Amino acid sequence: MKVVFFINVEIIIVKKQILNIMANLKGKNLISITDYTKEEYLQILALASEFEKQPKQPILSDKVVASIFFEPSTRTRLSFESAANMLGARVIGFSNPAATSLQKGESLHDTIQMVSSYSDLIVMRHPRDGAARYASEVASVPVINAGDGANQHPTQCMLDLYSIQKTQGGLDNLHITMVGDLKYGRTVHSLVQAMCNFNATFHFVSPEELKMPSSVKMHIKNMGLEYYQYTKLEDVIPFSDIIYMTRIQRERFSDPLEYERVKDCYILDAATLKGCKPNMKVLHPLPRVNEIATDVDKTPYAYYFQQAQNGVYVRQALMAAILGVK
């Protein structure tokens, strides 16, 4: 009887902790991945797992989600809108700012104020670093950053965490390799910051021009963790648990010649993966250009399409938590 009593007390304590975490998430912006705690990450991932089992739930039928994209997007915009629709929300917004009053000179400040008055939650992508933070300071409803320039992409980071957790059986003590555009790649900036909570060891593969920013590397050092830098992809294959490929982003280069010089610097093909760990997985935020050869798609290591699918469940979890329905 005492054993049962202690177990029941522990269950009650855990449930209270979960309720406290979820209460903290209600109405909370997600602008940078560091806005949320490790415990909040894990609770979102647990909720995403529930939505994966049952994605269609009309729990947001009385909510309006504004999807405003000032920059092109396929997966992020469609997965957010799909997630909202599966939960019964109404979706308003735009994917082409040329068709809005911004073309008439309306400021971002005024646009956000107006969109706030029409919705319960704003999902925003913008080409300028810091635009999402500014929007959150202006808006009267919560804001989710769907990518701001070369700065942050926290919801991509959340779905990356979910994908890593699913494929590796956990998040702790992993060797995370990141390849390609580490200077401008907002997805890798967010993921490094998140994985620092799980005692990761980082391996950065890039040309000199596209190295991971010093601020991100300083964050790793401040957390007491290690990172290593390489120029050859082959050097990291044998010990990587995750290989996170990135596209060299033409749109981030002011000098076309600089882009041409580095655009094909890393191409991962099936032959390159020889000797990798059996459970290693290749991730990519997509779209890919040619940095992952199509012959990788048929290997057991490819996980990038499933990774994109996971975005629906993670974004359902975020919207449900922020709107206080879970």
On average, the pLDDT of the chain sits at: 91
Q: Are 166 and 240 in a shared domain?
A: yes
For the segment 237-253, what is each residue's pLDDT rounded down to a tens digit? 999 999 999 988 766 66
Residues 24 and 36: their CA atoms lie apart, in Å, by 10
- Beta bridge partners of residue 122, listed in sequence order: 66, 143
Cβ of 303: how many Cβ atoms within 10 Å?
20
CATH number at residue 101: 3.40.50.1370
Q: What is the pLDDT of residue 261?
A: 72
Q: Are 108 and 198 in a shared domain?
A: no
Q: Are 159 and 245 in a shared domain?
A: yes
199 conformational bin, left if phi > 0, alpha if psi -120 to 50, beta if neither = left
For the segment 211-242, what is each residue's pLDDT rounded down to a tens digit? 999 999 999 999 999 999 999 999 999 999 99
For the segment 284-321, what is each residue's pLDDT rounded down to a tens digit? 999 888 899 999 999 999 999 999 999 999 999 999 99
Q: Are 140 and 248 in a shared domain?
A: no
Q: What is the pLDDT of residue 186?
A: 86
Q: Are 187 and 140 in a shared domain?
A: no
Spatial CA neighbour of 322 closest among 112, 24, 93: 24
Residues 294 and 304: their CA atoms lie apart, in Å, by 12
Peptide bond into 287 cis (omega under 30): yes
Which amino acid is residue 174, in one-letter code?
L
Q: What is the pLDDT of residue 14?
A: 43
Range of the domain at 288: 155-308
> How confident is the model over 101-127, as a mean pLDDT?
94
Q: Are 314 and 289 in a shared domain?
A: no
pLDDT at 18 over 60: no
In total, how many domains does the chain have? 2
> How confident is the model over 121-141, as a mean pLDDT?
96
Q: What is the pLDDT of residue 13?
A: 45
Higher per-residue pLDDT: 100 or 307: 307
Q: What is the pLDDT of residue 6?
A: 53
pLDDT at 208 over 90: no
Task: Point out the residues that are catalytic.
Answer: 75-76, 104, 125, 153
Residue 40, C-beta contacts closer than 8 angstroms, at least 6 positions apart: 21, 24, 25
